[in-house]
Amino acid sequence: MLAAPPTPKGLQTRERILKAAGAVFWKTGYGASGVADICAAAELAVGGFYRYFAGKEAVLEALVADLEAELSREVGTLPERKELRDEIEAIAGLYFRFVEKHKEAYQVMREAEFVCERASRKFYDSFAAAVGARLAGHGAARADNEAPVYSLIGMLSFVAVRNLIWRKRPVPKRAVSDAADVFVGGVSGLRPDFRALVGKAVKLRKLRPAAKREPDTAARLLASAETVFGKKGYGTAHISEIAARAGYAAGTFYTCYDSKRDALGRLVLALRDELVSKAVEYSTGAASRTETEVMAFLALFDFISEHPYGYKIMREAEFVDFRLAEDFYIYILNAYTDRMRATARPGEFVINDYAALSLMMMGIGHMLGFKYALLKDKGPGPEEMKDMLRSVFSGFDKTKND
């Protein structure tokens, strides 16, 4: 990114470019937009653009950086609350209002998760630091345990996205108090043996499946697509690269898939079904619905470690075709909600709105997976995972956790 322009007129032009870029990215998507599109929306010559930004990615980073700075500043100006629950409600309410006010820039930031990781990582880390500073005095955040703060960010993010971005509706009024209930009291009133459940997951991870038959052409191409899409991104990946990596000529691709979009759709479904299958396998024999959810959480982390590119692909697919987000996120959300309604004991979970709870749990898993399974050199060890599960499922009611 170039230095900020020194004159008021230059600053105004820079802001005009950023505003135009936000509108273009929101309407068309970052991947499908170009510098010429931004300049047309800003009514600026292409040559003038490069006086302010080195390229499209620099504009993206500037948009995310401005969003990050404003959100952190607003969190820092919230009045202090004596009770943890009141603090969480204040943060949640602010976050939902902020996303509603900045929907375009917020969607750009979400797309940055896979096209410019450093920008989105800085956004989340900055927000986490601001939230953590407020929660530290309540005993709900420590420098050596960031999981609680990222859990909160995850649940707020998914509630905001589901309502404001996907459904284009206001966030339900109860979402603020629901988020506070889940954070403070934990997902469930039950207290399972987290150490034993982590140990069970470790054993399952070590039980490698028996050697399978040689994959057919379609399966080899799909595995290749997972790697190519993951490394290069869907937009810049070529069918010839997918075929070559699988050991075939480009024409062979079309004997199995109609197009690159067809392969992406099949890949999303395959990854979704594998994740669901793994969750079912891990939760077999669970003593309660709470234990089932704990094991599904552990299955998600193992899935991410096995499919790091797949996790990125799931995120990018939403921006390629929203129907793919429905095939993955909404499908899983509805399935978990239905099973929770059918099998949960009365009063087992901290809130009775199972759809809202399932959505928040998906957000928690997404954010902790993004933070601990993808951005770190290795995923959490057994002790770290035990503490993470305890914070998510048992919460921060000191009378229960001390």
Average pLDDT of the segment spanning 338-367? 94
33 torsion bin: left (phi>0), alpha (psi -120 to 50), beta (else) = beta
Q: Could you give the CA distance from residue 222 to residue 224 in angstroms, rounded to a whole number?
A: 5
pLDDT at 398: 53
Residue 402: band (very low, low, confident or very high) from pLDDT cuts 50, 70, 90: very low
pLDDT at 400: 52
Average pLDDT of the segment spanning 205-217? 71
Per-residue pLDDT tens digits for 373-399: 665 556 678 888 998 899 899 987 654
Task: Write out the residue range of the structural domain in which residue 27 sits.
Answer: 1-54
Identify whether residues 203 and 153 lie together within a single domain. Answer: no
* Residue in 374, 367, 369, 361 with CA at minimum distance from that of residue 188: 361
Q: What is the mean pLDDT of the chain?
A: 89
- Count of domains forming the chain: 3
- Joined together, the tokens standing for residue 101 give 């006010």
Residue 172 in any domain: the answer is yes
354-375 per-residue burial string, b: 16 or more CB within 10 A, e: under 16? bebbbbbbbbbbbbbbbbbbbe
Of 18, 33, 54, the one marking the end of a domain is 54
Residue 202 in any domain: the answer is yes
* Residue in 304, 241, 298 with CA at minimum distance from that of residue 271: 304
pTM to 2 decimal places? 0.90
Per-residue pLDDT tens digits for 28-44: 888 788 999 999 999 99
Identify whether residues 341 and 358 lie together within a single domain. Answer: no
pLDDT at 119: 85
Average pLDDT of the segment spanning 240-250? 96
Question: End-to-end alpha-carbon separation of the chain, Å?
Answer: 48
What phi and psi, each to the nearest 5 degrees, are found at residue 54? -75, -20
Which residue type occupies 13?
T
Identify whether residues 41 and 29 lie together within a single domain. Answer: yes
pLDDT at 305: 83
Identify whether residues 229 and 295 lie together within a single domain. Answer: yes
